[in-house]
């Protein structure tokens, strides 16, 4: 996990909550840190890092994208205020740029040629603004407009440095922040990695823009990763909603009491953060305590989510969370290298058009569609993995992996990928009442 090596990294230390790792209760930061960059391919020129160089691109953005007009106007006002935005040209000596592998896994909207160009980037214009938390709703889209305009004008890409999210201008044009319907994956990245051999950590990146510490969960079983991801996404949304509404810094709650329906939705789609305060329905309670920053974290301020019960068993807790949010436990038999029966596979394929039509028509609230798909790991074999369907365009299925892959090193539970319909070998639909309807295959049913 890389991070910038500029003096602006020190600002995050200033924002850090004293006592993380066992001290006083975490608090919101007194300021939100908005940190974006516009990286350009090798050989491309960057104008001088002054506000005047950004005004023509803003004019062009307003002309070409009328839906950005209000954000463009706010961006002009922000640039006109002395010291409101820190502009700086940075190189690989002062900023860690995403490499090709990172762009391939986490980059948004890149085609092959764009990936190659982006990986060659050696210079970037960084834009940093420190604002009061309640000003984020207007200041963040304003800075987004400046970054988008510059990226389109200079042939580069937008890099959300705090969230470590590289995005093409074409994709970023649809990412304008809207506090009423915050699409969390566009503003806060959630990453999972082994912080020690055999010990997993999942952490948010990008919460500083909402005056929040990062959130983490540690030492959960890998098979429950997607439920942990939903929990982190939902908790992040709830804490962001509180920050946007607060008049000033305040302590975090000791516990969060979140609607299960909100957590299910937050893990896979755009939802209003206001839904985090919804009443009624099944709830999930989670304790909130000071966490421990790891090397490469964007902040020293980290909050750990855990069971409410003292010394609660994390494996049992996350397994129950998985059943509560998904409808079944994720410890599924992977059936490595076992042959598929041709007649069953043919029947599954024949059933997909009807399932696709059902999904596109819209499943009832609280329902979810899952598929089991075939994944080949070159040189290792083939494994069958379960995933939740989050989109079904004509080119295949957009899925979020539920199973923790064993053979496929480049894939992890919680990752979103595109899957060909021809790779689907089974499916199941969870109803709003928690009941499961599935293709009548005799083995390995969730």
Domain shared by 286 and 367, yes or no: no
Angle between helices 69-80 and 55-64 (to 10 degrees): 170
Question: By the 8 A CB rule, do 211 and 137 touch?
Answer: no
| 8 Å CB contact between 403 and 387 | yes
In a domain, 17, yes or no: no
Check whether residue 123 and residue 198 sit in a common domain.
no
Determine the pLDDT at residue 20: 39
Same domain? For 167 and 191 the reply is no
Last residue of a domain, one of 127, 158, 177: 177
280, 369: one domain: no
**Are 386 and 414 a contacting pair, CB within 8 Å?**
no
- Domain check: are 143 and 91 in the same one? yes
Residue 160 lies in a domain: yes
pLDDT at position 403 is 75
Tell me whether residue 444 is in a domain. Answer: no
Identify whether 133 is part of a domain: yes
Cβ-based neighbours of 233, under 8 Å, separated by 6 or more? 184, 185, 188, 190, 263, 266, 267
Are 38 and 173 within one domain?
Answer: yes
CATH number of the domain residue 65 falls in:
3.30.1400
**Confidence (pLDDT) at 15:** 40
Provide the edge-to-edge strand list for the sheet that holds 381-391.
416-419, 397-401, 381-391, 368-377, 424-430, 436-438
pLDDT in tens, 272-311: 666 666 656 678 889 988 888 888 788 888 999 999 987 7
- Whether residues 304 and 429 fall in one domain: no
Q: Count CA atoms closer than 13 A to 176's CA, side-chain side.
A: 20
What's residue 412's pLDDT?
Answer: 77
Same-domain status, 70 and 168: yes
Query: Looking at 177, 211, 242, which one is the last position of a domain?
Result: 177
pLDDT number for residue 273? 64
* Distance separating alpha carbons of residues 372 and 136, to the nearest angstrom: 41
Residues 263 and 153 in one domain: no
* Of residues 193, 182, 210, the one with CA closest to residue 34: 210
The predicted pLDDT at position 248 comes to: 64
349 and 307 fall within a common domain: no
Q: Could you tell me the pTM of the whole model?
A: 0.76
Helix (H) or strand (E) holding 323: helix 314-326
Q: Quote the domain boundaries for residue 297.
A: 184-326
| Residues 159 and 246 both lie in one domain | no
| Number of folded domains that form the chain | 3
Q: Considering the domain boundaries, does residue 16 fall inside one?
A: no
At 271 the pLDDT is 63
> Is 158 contained in some domain?
yes
Query: Low-confidence residues of the chain, pLDDT below 50?
Result: 1-22, 330-338, 442-446
Over residues 118-160, the pLDDT tens digits come to 999 999 999 999 999 989 999 999 999 999 999 999 999 999 9
Bridge-based pairing of strands 416-419 and 397-401 is antiparallel
For 136-173, b/e burial (b = at least 16 CB within 10 A) is bebbbbbbbbbbbbbbbbbebbbbbbbbbbbbbbbbbb
Q: Which of 373, 399, 372, 404 is nearest to 388 (CA)?
A: 399
Predicted pLDDT of residue 272: 65
Residues 77 and 138 in one domain: yes
| 188 in any annotated domain | yes
Last-in-domain residue among 133, 156, 177: 177
Q: Answer whether residue 120 is part of any domain.
A: yes
- DSSP calls for 186-238: GT-EEEEEEEETTEEEEEEE-GGGGT--EEEEES--GGGHHHHHHHHHHHHHH
In sequence order, the β-bridge partners of residue 196 are 199
């Amino acid at each position: 996990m890389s991070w910038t090596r500029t003096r602006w990294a020190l600002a995050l230390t200033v924002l850090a909550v004293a006592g993380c790792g066992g001290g006083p209760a975490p608090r919101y930061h007194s300021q939100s840190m908005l940190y974006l960059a516009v990286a350009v391919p090798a050989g491309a020129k960057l104008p001088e890092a002054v506000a005047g160089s950004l005004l023509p691109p803003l004019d062009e953005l307003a002309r070409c994208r009328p839906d950005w007009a209000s954000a463009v106007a706010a961006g002009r006002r922000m640039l006109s205020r002395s010291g409101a935005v820190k502009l700086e040209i940075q190189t690989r000596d002062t900023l860690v740029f995403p490499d090709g592998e990172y762009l391939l896994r986490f980059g948004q909207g890149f085609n092959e040629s764009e990936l190659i160009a982006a990986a060659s980037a050696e210079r970037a214009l960084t834009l940093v603004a420190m604002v009061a938390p309640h000003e984020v709703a207007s200041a963040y889209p304003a800075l987004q407009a400046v970054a988008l305009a510059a990226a389109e004008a200079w042939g580069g890409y937008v890099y959300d440095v705090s969230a470590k999210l590289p995005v093409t201008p074409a994709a970023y044009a649809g990412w304008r922040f809207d506090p009423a319907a915050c699409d969390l994956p566009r503003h806060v990245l959630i990453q999972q990695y082994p912080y020690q051999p055999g010990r997993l950590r999942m952490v948010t990146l990008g919460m500083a823009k909402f005056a929040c510490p990062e959130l983490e969960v540690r030492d959960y079983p890998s098979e429950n990763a997607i439920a942990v991801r939903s929990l982190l996404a939902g908790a992040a949304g709830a804490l962001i909603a509180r920050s946007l509404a607060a008049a000033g810094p305040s302590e975090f709650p000791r516990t969060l009491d979140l609607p299960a329906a909100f957590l299910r939705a937050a893990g896979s789609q755009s939802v209003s953060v206001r839904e985090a305060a919804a009443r009624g329905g099944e709830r999930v309670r989670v304790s909130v305590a000071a966490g421990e920053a790891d090397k490469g974290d964007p902040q020293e301020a980290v909050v750990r989510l855990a069971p409410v019960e003292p010394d609660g068993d994390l494996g049992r807790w996350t397994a129950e969370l998985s059943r509560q949010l998904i409808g079944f436990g994720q410890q599924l038999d992977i059936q490595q290298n076992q042959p598929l029966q041709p007649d069953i596979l043919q029947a599954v394929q024949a059933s997909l058009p009807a399932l696709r039509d059902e999904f596109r028509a819209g499943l009832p609230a609280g329902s979810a569609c899952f598929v089991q798909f075939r994944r080949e790991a070159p040189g290792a074999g083939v494994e069958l993995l379960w995933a939740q369907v989050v989109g079904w365009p004509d080119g295949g299925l957009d899925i979020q992996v539920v199973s923790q892959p064993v053979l496929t090193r480049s894939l992890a539970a919680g990752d979103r990928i595109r899957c060909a319909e021809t790779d689907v070998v089974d499916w199941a639909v969870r109803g709003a009442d928690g009941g499961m309807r599935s293709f009548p295959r005799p083995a390995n049913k969730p």
